[in-house]
Chains A and B, each alone.
Chain A
Amino acid sequence: MIFERICEMIRSIGISDEVSPEIMLVNDLGMDSTELADLSTAIAKEFGVLIKSGDMKGYSVARIVEIIAKNKKGT
Chain B
Amino acid sequence: MIIGVGIDILKIDYINQMLEKHGDNFLKLHFSAAEIQMFLNKKRFANQFLGGRFAAKEAFFKATSAYTGMELGFCDIEVINDDTGKPEIKFLRHKPACMKDDLIWLSISHHCEYAVAQVIVERAGVGIVRNKMEVVK
Residues of chain A touching chain B, judged by Cβ–Cβ distance below 8 Å, are 33-34, 37-38, 40-42, 44-45, 50, 52-55, 57
Of B8, B18, B29, B70, which contacts A54 at CB under 8 A?
B70
Smallest CB gap from A34: residue in B: B14
Of A33, A34, A50, which contacts B29 at CB under 8 A?
A50
B73 interface hit (Cβ, 8 Å)? yes
The binding surface of chain B is classed by DSSP as: helix
Residues of chain B touching chain A, judged by Cβ–Cβ distance below 8 Å, are 8, 10, 14, 18, 21-22, 25-26, 29-30, 54, 58, 61, 65, 70, 72-74
Cα(A44)–Cα(B54), bound, Å: 18
Chain B contacts of A52 at CB under 8 A?
70, 73-74
A-B contact pairs, 20 of them (CB 8 A): A33-B58, A34-B14, A37-B18, A37-B30, A37-B74, A38-B18, A38-B22, A41-B22, A41-B25, A41-B26, A41-B29, A41-B30, A42-B21, A44-B29, A45-B25, A53-B73, A53-B74, A54-B65, A54-B70, A54-B72
